[in-house]
A and B are shown apart, each in its own frame.
Chain A
Amino acid sequence: MNKVSQTSPADLIASPLYQVNLVLWMATKNNGGRVRPVFANAGYEVLFIERALNLPPELKQTLVQAGVTFVDPASPDFILAGAKKSYVILECKKTMFGADSSTAAQSRSLLLQVPRIFELALVKKAGSVTNVSLIYLSRQDSKHDLLDGINALAEHLKKAKFKTITAGALSLHVSGKAIRLRQSGNVPQPLAHEVGIDALEVQEVADDSDPRPLYLIPWLPDTESENDEYNKRAFAERVKLSAAQVIDSARAGTDVEILLSDVLGLLTLGYDKNLSNAAYRRLKQESKGILEKRFRSVKDVTILSLPDGAGWALTLKDDAAKESILNGLRAYEPPDPQVQLF
C-alpha cells in the first residue's frame, strides 16, 4: 500500500476536484464530522450537478446584437436549492479570472440567470423562483480581489441593459491546523450567516496526513487540469471498482460482457449521459486504458476485446476464474504519461 505523494493543503484547496467534493460534503447534513456541513446547516441541498442552463432565444439574439459573448448552455458545477424558493449557482475554480478571460463567456451566461430566465431553463412555472445567486468557490488570493473580474462583467452587462443576479465568493485558505472559508461580495443571507464574518473552519488539517475527504465524484469534465496523484489514483480505483462490481455480480458458469458504457455509468454515478462527446471519449479512453492493463495481467482467464472498443467479453467458468480476474483488477499502476485526463 503505497502512500500517494502528499499535496500540501495550500495546493489542495485550489484543486477543483477537491472543491467539488468538499461542496458535496458541505451539503450533506450529519456527514460524519470530517467536513463542516456549511451548506446543509444554511438549509441548502444540492439539486443538480452539471445541469445545462439554456438561454431563451430572444435573450441570445439580444446578446448577439449587443456584441456580448456568452455560452449556451452553461453548465455550472452545482445548483443548490435553499429555503423560500431561493437558489445558488455554484462554480468551483482553481483561480479566479479577469473580465477578458476565456471563462468570462460562461460567467456572463450565469450572471444572466435572473429568476425568470432560471425558471425557463429548469422548466419551472413562473413565480417558483424568487432569488438566484451566483457563488464562486476558490482559493483565497491575497493579491487580488476574487470578485474583480466577475464584478466587471456584471457592470458591463448592466450598462448594456441586461438584468443580472448578485455574485459572491467563498474563498478557501489554510490557517493554523484548519482549512477555512471566508465570504466576500453578495452571499445570500442564510449562507452568509452560517459562514459568519470570521474565517470559518470547514476541515481540520493533521500534521502528517492529507486532509481531503472521500471523493464522491472522481472526475468532472471541464475542470482545469491539475497534477495531483490522489486524483489519478482515486479515479483508477473507481474505474476498477466499477468493473469489479459488474464482474462480481455475474454468475459463475456464464458469459460476461464488461461494457465500458456500464462501467462509465457506475463510475460517474450517472452523469456520463450528459457529457459532451469529446469529454465522454476522453473518459472512455482513460478508463479503457486502466482496465486493459489490468486485464492483461490476468493469465488464467481469456479476456477478449469487443468490437469498436465497446469493452470485453469472457467466460466466467467458475468462482476461481472470478477470483483471478478480481485479483488482477485490484493492483494499481500509474497511468501513461500521455493520458491527460487530469
Chain B
Amino acid sequence: MDIGDIRTQDEAVQLLEGWAEARRTELGSAVTTRPLVKTYMLEHSEKHLGPSLGRAFAKSGITLTPLRDGDFETIWDSRQQKYVGFLERLINRHPVIYTTEKSDVMDPWVKRLVHRNPSLDRLWISGMTFHRLWSAVLAQSSPNRFGRIVFQHDNLFENAMDLPFSADADESEPEANISMEPTDDEEVPERKATRFAVVDRLSTLERILPAMRSLYGPLRAISQLRFPGARGGGHDFYYNGKVTNRTDSFSEHRLRVRYVLQVYSATTLRAEAATWSGVEKMNVGNTEATKWILGAPVRIQFSQALTPAVFDRFVESVFVRKNRDFNLWGNPIRLGPTKVHVYALDRHVAQQLFIEITNTNILVVIPAATCGNSIHRLVTNVQQFLDPAIDVWIGDQSYESLVNVDIGINALN
C-alpha cells in the first residue's frame, strides 16, 4: 500500500508495522535489503515566530494532511511530488516523522527542512543526555541482552582541513564489535578522530564503561545508543534526533521514541528553568513595555586549554566558514590571541546569542527567548567536534544534573 492510498491512522500503523515485520527475517543479518522504518525527532517552537506546524512545513513546500481517526498526518513534498512519510505530534513541542525512505534520501531532506526554518529544529542529544539514556537502557533491559553504543568524536579543528562529515552510519553498515579499522587504501586523518562502536552484553558494558570513560575522554561522547527491542534487535538513537527501528515492531518503536522525547523534553524544560532562575528582570526606562530580561549565562568549560591554532580554526570554522552544525552567524571581535567576542545570530531559531570564546571556555548569554534546544545543540556539537569531556553549567547548575531527570509512570497520564 502506498502512503497516498492511506486514509486512516490505523492503515498508517498497519503499513509501518508491516514494514517492520517484513524485516524480521533479516534482523541480525549484516546487510538489510529494504530500508528500515526511521523516525526523525524534531522540535517545533511556536513561541518564537508563531507559525503553526503546518505553516512551518508549508514554507518548505510540504503539505501535512490529517488522517482520519487519529493524530497522524501524511507528509506530501510538492517539490519532489511524493509522499515521504507520516508526521505525529507525539508530545508537546516535539513532532516526529515516521518514514520508510532510505537514509540517504531522508537525512538531507530533514536537514533542508530545519536548516532555514527558525521554528523547526532537530533534536540534539548530547553525550551527557545519552549517558542518562544509557542508565535507562540498563534499568529497562535484561542484563543478558546485547547493547550497542557508538562513541564518536571528530576534532574538526585539530588540523587545517575541514573534512565533510556525516554522523549517520549507513543502514547496511555491518554491526561489527569494533569499527574504524582503516582499510589499506583509506587515508587516516591527521587529527583526533574517534569512532568506537561496541556491542556486548549489557552486564559487561555496565562493568567496563566507567573505567573506559575515565581513561579516554572521547568515551564521554556517546553519539549513538541502542535500546534493545523486546523480541530482538533494537532502536538506534543518533545524536541528531534520528532513530532507526531494527526491531520487528513499529508500536514498540513508537513507545521508545516517546520515552526518549519525554526525557529530552524534561531536560529542555529544566535547562530553560535554570537559565531563567538567575533571571535579571530589569525595567529599562519608565514603562513596563521596556522590560529587559537576561538569562543566566551558559558556560562550557573545556577539559584542557585549546592551543591557539585549534582556537583559531574553531572560531574560523564556526563563524567565517559557517559550519552548518553550529549554524551561527556573526563577525568575531578579537580581544587577544585566544579571546573573541561574537554578537551572534543562532540561525536555527533566528535568535541573538552573545558569545565569549577563550581557550578555556565558552560563555553564552541568551538575551531573551526559548533557549533549551539552542543549549542542547551547542553542547552536542562542542562535544562531537571540539572536546568530548566538557563540563557545562547553566548559572549555578550543572548540565549533567539537569539531564538526570526521572520519567515515572505519571508520564502515562
Asked if A and B are interacting partners, one says yes
CB neighbours of B280 from chain A (8 A): 24, 27-28, 45-46
Determine which residue in A234, A237, A266 has the highest number of CB atoms from chain B within 10 A of its CB, and name it.
A237
Count, A-B residue pairs, CB within 8 A: 161
Chain A residue nearest to B342 in the complex (CB): A237
Q: Is the CB of B351 within 8 A of A3?
A: no
Partner of B278, one of A30, A50, A215: A30
**B363 and A214 contacting across the interface, CB-CB below 8 Å:** yes
What residues of chain B lie closer than 8 Å to A249, measured between beta carbons? 49, 118, 350
Whether B299 and A33, one on each chain, are in contact in the complex, defined by CB atoms closer than 8 angstroms, is yes
A-side interface residues, number (CB < 8 Å): 58
| Residues in A neighbouring B342, C-beta threshold 8 A | 237
Asked if residues B289 and A214 are in contact (CB atoms below 8 Å), the reply is no
Residues of A within 8 A of B287 (CB): 273-274
A72 to chain B, nearest CB (A): 14
Asked whether A244 and B329 contact (CB < 8 A) given A28-B297, A48-B283, A274-B290, the answer is yes
Q: A270 contacts B285, CB within 8 Å?
A: yes
B354 close to A (CB within 8 Å): yes
Complex: how many Å from CA A242 to CA B367?
A: 12
Interface residues of B in 105-147 (CB under 8 A from A): 116, 118
Is A38's beta carbon under 8 Å from chain B? no
- Judging by beta carbons under 8 Å apart, are A206 and B351 in contact? no
Q: Does A332 contact B (CB under 8 A)?
A: yes
B333–A233 contact, CB under 8 A? yes
Residue A67 at the chain B interface, CB threshold 8 Å? no
Contact A269 B367 (CB under 8 A): yes
**In the assembly, what is the distance between CA of A274 and CA of B290, in Å?**
9
Contact (Cβ within 8 A) B352 A230? no
| Contact between A34 and B316, CB atoms less than 8 A apart | no
Q: B178 on the interface (CB 8 Å rule)?
A: no
Q: Give complex CA distance A47, B284 in Å.
A: 8
**Are the CB atoms of A216 and B337 closer together than 8 Å?**
no
List CB contacts (< 8 Å) of A261-276 with chain B.
Answer: 266, 268-271, 273-274
Interchain CB contact under 8 A, B334 and A1: yes
Q: Which residues of B contact A215 (CB under 8 A)?
A: 341
A209 in contact (CB, < 8 A)? yes
A28-B280, A34-B363, A46-B280 given; A244·B335 CB < 8 A: no
- Given contacts A249-B118, A330-B329, A1 and B340 within 8 Å (CB-CB): yes
Q: Once bound together, how far apart are the Cα atoms of A74 and B111, in whole Å?
A: 53
Check B335–A212 contact: CB distance below 8 A.
yes
A29 within 8 A of B: yes
Shortest Cβ distance from A328 into chain B, in angstroms? 12
B296 contacts A30, C-beta separation under 8 Å: yes
Q: Which residues of chain B have C-beta atoms less than 8 A from A209's C-beta?
A: 335-339
A240, A244, A274, A330: which contacts B285 (Cβ < 8 A)?
A274
* B283-A51 in contact (CB<8A): yes
Output the least CB separation between A287 and chain B (Å).
14
Q: Which residues of B contact A50 (CB under 8 A)?
A: 284-285
* In the complex with contacts A214-B341, A216-B354, A319-B116, A1-B332 CB distance below 8 A: yes
> Which residues of B have CB within 8 Å of A268?
284
CA distance A167 to B373 in the complex (A): 46
Interface of chain A residues 10 through 48 with chain B (CB within 8 A) = 24, 27-34, 45-48
CB-CB under 8 A from A326, the residues of chain B are 329
Query: B230 in the interface, Cβ–Cβ < 8 Å?
Result: no
A206-B336, A237-B330 known; A49+B363 contact, CB < 8 A: no
Contacts A29-B395, A237-B331 supplied; 18 other A-B pairs, CB < 8 Å: A4-B334, A28-B294, A29-B396, A31-B296, A32-B363, A46-B282, A48-B282, A52-B286, A209-B336, A212-B335, A214-B355, A230-B335, A237-B343, A240-B331, A241-B330, A241-B343, A248-B345, A274-B287
Chain A interface (Cβ < 8 Å from any Cβ of B): 1-4, 6, 24, 27-34, 45-52, 206, 208-210, 212-216, 230, 233-234, 237-238, 240-242, 244-245, 248-249, 251-252, 266, 268-271, 273-274, 319, 322, 326, 330-332
Closest 4 CB pairs of A and B: A209-B336, A274-B285, A30-B395, A270-B290
Some 22 contacts from A to B, beta carbons below 8 A apart, are A1-B316, A2-B334, A4-B333, A28-B280, A29-B396, A31-B297, A32-B363, A48-B283, A50-B285, A209-B335, A210-B339, A214-B356, A216-B367, A237-B333, A238-B343, A244-B329, A245-B345, A245-B352, A269-B284, A270-B290, A273-B290, A274-B286
